Amino acid sequence: GIEQEPREDGSGHRTGAMGKIEELLEGSFSRIGLAVGLHPWKSIAGSVLAIVACGYGFTMIVSETRPEKQWVARGAPALEHDEYVKAMWPGNARFNLFAGTCADVDEASCNVLEPKYIQRLYEINARIMNITVDGDSIVRELDAKHKENSDRPWLQYKGDWSFSGNAVPSNGSVTFEGRKCFSFGPFCGKASVLDVFRDDEQVIQTLSTEAVQQAVNAWEDQETMCPLSLASPDSPCFDANCQAYGSPSERQSCRDLASAYCASVCPSARPGDANCKDSGCVQLMALNSSGSMLNTDPNSTGQAPESAFAFEPTKIKTMVGPLEGDGNVAYAKGKYLQGFWAINKNELYCPSEGSVDPVADEWERRALCILGINADPEAEPVLECPPDNLLTFSGLFGRSFGDEFGASIRGDIAKLSSSYFVIVIYCGLMIGKRDVIHSGIVLSVVAVLIVGLTIAGTMGIMGYLGVPNSNLNNNLYFLILGLGVDDAFVLSSEFVRHTTLQPELPIPERIALTAKTGGISVLITSATDALAFLVGASTVLPALGWFCTYAGTAIVFCFLFQLTVFLPALALNARRAEANRRDCLCCFHASPRALDDPQGCCCCTPRLCGDNVLRRSMKAAATKATSDWGQIVTIVFFCILAGVGIFGSTQVYKDFKLEWFIPDNSYVNQFSKINADYFASGTPITVNLRDAPDAFAAQSKLRDLFDYLNSTDLVNKDVVVESWYEDFMQWAVNPATAATASVVFDPPREDSHAAFAERDSFYSALHLWYRSSQGSRFRGSLLWSDVDCNVEGSLENLPLGCDVKQGLMASRLNAELSLSSTNTGTTRYATMTTLRAKIHEMYEGAFPYSFDFLYWEEVGIIDEELIRNLLICGGVICLVVFALVPALRIATWVIICICLSVVETIGFMYFWDVTISGVSTIYILICVGLAVDYAAHIAHMFKEADGSPRERAITAVERIGPCTLNAVVSTFLAVVVVGFSSSYVFRIFFKVLFLVVLIAGMHGLWLLPVLLSLLGGSKEPESNFEDVAPGTVGNTDLSPKSSSSKA
């Protein structure tokens, strides 16, 4: 039947509401086109002035680089927890993990428990301990960089900084100046197989294979840390009384054995004595000679030194792996060493760089260099980082993600630059003719320059509005490049068409006709994409919302610049062509030739590079596709494609790991693989307890919480759960503890659930334990309500002014999540939420915390946000398409093709190992915009064409198909270059955009014409272009149309 579209009445005016809207839009575009055609330089100058006006906004742009501010949903628990932890425990740790293996032999022959490897690890560790960072130099650099900041918060970094710092006596205790390590009580946080040998140079340098095996296999049997060597067969550390003493007589027996042993192996007991075979004897004798060092309870005589407290030794399999026995001992061989150094994190927030700790960054850079890893080759001073000849290392340091991701991005800059160059060349080839006058190279450069103008205008406006800028906005270049080049193809094609059909019209009137017929096509895609993005900016994910705001605004700018810059450029280019001046060298003339009679350019002759080859080829393809057999094949093929895509879309899952941002060959990825294969260590967490409920009243809850953490599969059972309450109670209920001898317990102290019966006794005993050697390693886990009660070193007496009865302001427990509960994004999110719910249920107000949780929050909401944004985009697309393509049967098929394109793209993402994440969500939304472009242009030209449904479909493909195909190819060329990137972001970018240009391109150029040829309806011919007389194009009463035969 005949398509019921807006018709003209006898006077040439369209009837119906939609017809009036269409007529109004065409008239508006005609007037704009005529104005810019008459005054092209004024239009371009006005556009440049508008960008200059936006320029001040650049100075107001606020860049947001903190992940927690970008990818954590507004109102997410992780945000409140992070703020609480930073307020209560400002000195959080940066764990610097390492793994080492043999460098001198292959993996099969490697045994890191050979003495030479342990000795080399000791030498490397000693060099790392001796790293000194010049904080004064850092302060001077920051002063020079931020002269406008008079507060100088970076003064906290002044002085020299080392891992252990320098011990300074203070108020009867010891403090450490310039100490950068994260402290667990008085001890620096570090762990490695060197702990088995007490970091004792005398012991380590004389190790034998038998001594290594003896120490490693005896390490986990200890209940009390012995300061002497486990590598000696005569060591008293193997005596039962020294492994766990519970009475003064047992303790004295251990000391007698230790004295006899030390008299044999270290008779002088002097530091630095070359004849001393166990430096632990020097420490032990010094402590024995000082009663005050041993006496932490003024009511008793002589307790153990700080090195002899109850402890859980680190599991050997967390330090050496994979472990093998030899028939005599359980642990005889291993291929990898693993450990960590924990340093204190004192960060300042800088808008341009995010949260930074320059001292920690520099310390880690030098430590990595000692391990043979040059983390930042461009940093000053330049470091030489040769690999070790015995051990080769990988690691995961606090700065590693930033370094490796930044290096990957920098490595891809050349690829990105080349992609822009490729697009310029391609546009130059396809926009113009194969002719020195009509080549279109300058127009292609203008098309790309519009991208720069668009980004400049957008950034300026966003600066005025205060919308933060993030790294995601780097994707705007590709989005605007794809949309802008597509629009340029459409407008230039329409201008060539009008010039070919009516060469006698003045240039301004041909520009007016170009704006009239091409403007609505460009408006459909621009309005749809802009509204979809702007409405989608309401998402709860800040970074996604900012990107949508930037993208929607950029699309508006791009559309406006097509009218005010590209159309004037078309007019100026036409003037040059009519003066027979060369395209790139406009000062030189060439022999006259018509637009439709190219004479060849460079190596392309007219016969080899025929200008209409693509148009004729697409017409032939459309003719075959819309034939009976072509329609059958098309429907069958796309039904299969839709089925596979729908299946894949039901299987695609959400997942995200920060490790994916790291290049495949990075030392970080090598460490992650080693850890997953041989150590299975997970994510360290703290369980934070607030001031309410009161710790005394919640004793049973504290014990239940400890039991839960030790029983749940979510927590790594190879790593000790550290609970200050459990250690405190073990000390308190011990009959040998004189300080609690008269304390009342309910249940009694013999019961496994013993608890303090009186609040005052509880807090008095807790503080005594806290400030003594026994509780020293938990000083970083308790924060008293009375600040005078907080101490850093051991004290015999209560600090002056301290009121322990006020209780605790905050406390925390330490644990580590299992690798199996954190191996994917979805399991990480499930683990996090499960722990939150269970811990809150057991201890109201308590919560688990890790800084990594800020990254994990995204996985829980990203699928909902993707669906939400796709639905918003779908609604906006329907509204705009139905408004600007006022033909129900045409607009309906456009919507169906767009929806199929998006669903199939998501479906095939599953088969290409692309998961739903914040990164892929951005690219999917970009793809929606491209899918609209590829379908809407065909639909608009089909509406304009006359004849039977098949004739209209063929005419639409012939007229606008080359432009759409060029947009597809140009977008593909832009992304194919980054397909070889080592960066996860760009690989995902390539995969998703490759799928959309292929799938959406096929739907727009193949499926949609076939569907319209079947169901699009016929249309009777209307007035032709020959009815348009020169000088009447600007008259809005005229609505010139082309017939399909003329086209």
* pLDDT tens digits for range 770-805: 988 788 888 889 999 999 999 877 788 888 899 999
**410 class by beta-carbon count within 10 Å (0-12 exposed, 13-18 middle, 19+ buried):** exposed
- Return the percentage of the chain with pLDDT > 70, whole number: 84
Question: What backbone phi and psi angles, to 5 degrees, belong to 11?
Answer: -90, 0
Whole-number Å distance between alpha carbons of 51 and 198 = 66
Question: What backbone phi and psi angles, to 5 degrees, belong to 816?
Answer: -135, 130
What is the structure's pLDDT at 916? 87
Whole-number Å distance between alpha carbons of 275 and 270 = 10
What is the structure's pLDDT at 588? 67
Residue 167's H or E segment, with its range, is strand 166-170
Identify the band that residue 131 occupies on the pLDDT scale cut at 50, 70 and 90.
Answer: very high
Alpha helices in 244-396 (DSSP H): 248-265, 280-288, 291-294, 358-370
Question: What backbone phi and psi angles, to 5 degrees, belong to 604?
Answer: -95, 115
What is the structure's pLDDT at 337? 95
Q: Which of 659-663, 874-878, 949-953 has the lowest mean pLDDT?
A: 659-663
| Nearest alpha-carbon partner for 673 in 315, 189, 190, 321 | 321
Structure tokens at 463: 């600066």
What is the structure's pLDDT at 307? 35
3-state secondary structure of 224: strand
Question: What backbone phi and psi angles, to 5 degrees, belong to 812?
Answer: -155, 155
Q: Does 587 have pLDDT greater than 80?
A: no
Q: Does 717 have pLDDT greater than 70?
A: yes
Looking at the chain, the number of H-run helices and the number of E-run strands are 32, 17
Question: What backbone phi and psi angles, to 5 degrees, belong to 312?
Answer: -105, 115
pTM score, two decimals? 0.71
Question: What backbone phi and psi angles, to 5 degrees, belong to 76?
Answer: -65, 145
What is the structure's pLDDT at 607? 54
Residue 160's H or E segment, with its range, is strand 160-161
- Bond prior to 90 in cis (omega within 30° of 0): no
Identify the band that residue 1045 occupies on the pLDDT scale cut at 50, 70 and 90.
Answer: very low
What is the structure's pLDDT at 435? 64
CA 712 centroid distance within chain = 30
What is the structure's pLDDT at 706? 95
What letter represents residue 546's amino acid? W
Q: Does 67 have pLDDT greater than 70?
A: no
Rg (CA), the chain: 37
Identify the band that residue 221 occupies on the pLDDT scale cut at 50, 70 and 90.
Answer: confident
Sign of CA dihedral 751, 756, 758, 764: positive
What is the structure's pLDDT at 565? 95
Tens digit of pLDDT for each residue in 1000-1043?
Answer: 999 999 999 999 999 888 887 755 444 455 555 554 443 333 33
Whole-number Å distance between alpha carbons of 820 and 622 = 54
Q: Which whole number is the average pLDDT over 19-30?
A: 82
Q: Which of 18-27, 492-501, 754-763, 816-825 has the lowest mean pLDDT?
A: 18-27
Q: Which of 156-170, 603-617, 680-694 has the lowest mean pLDDT?
A: 603-617
Whole-number Å distance between alpha carbons of 208 and 231 = 9
DSSP state of 652: -
Q: Which whole number is the average pLDDT over 412-425?
A: 69
What is the structure's pLDDT at 356? 85
Q: In the predicted model, what is the mean pLDDT of the chain?
A: 82
Q: Which whole number is the average pLDDT over 219-244?
A: 78
Q: Which of 203-212, 405-414, 597-606 has the lowest mean pLDDT?
A: 597-606
Q: Which whole number is the average pLDDT over 694-714?
A: 94
Q: Does 747 have pLDDT greater than 70?
A: yes
Structure tokens at 389: 């000849």
Tens digit of pLDDT for each residue in 320-370?
Answer: 989 998 888 899 999 999 999 999 888 887 766 667 889 999 999 999 999
DSSP codes joined into one string, 100-158: EEESSS-GGG--TTSHHHHHHHHHHHHHHHT--EEHHHHHHHHHHH-TT-SS-GGGGG-
Question: 345 near 357, Cβ under 8 Å?
Answer: yes
Q: Does 868 have pLDDT greater than 80?
A: yes
Whole-number Å distance between alpha carbons of 170 and 161 = 19
Identify the band that residue 48 occupies on the pLDDT scale cut at 50, 70 and 90.
Answer: very high
Residue 685's H or E segment, with its range, is strand 684-689
Question: What backbone phi and psi angles, to 5 degrees, belong to 391?
Answer: -125, 135
Question: 153 near 181, Cβ under 8 Å?
Answer: no
What is the structure's pLDDT at 428? 64
Q: Does 700 have pLDDT greater than 90?
A: yes
What is the structure's pLDDT at 261? 86
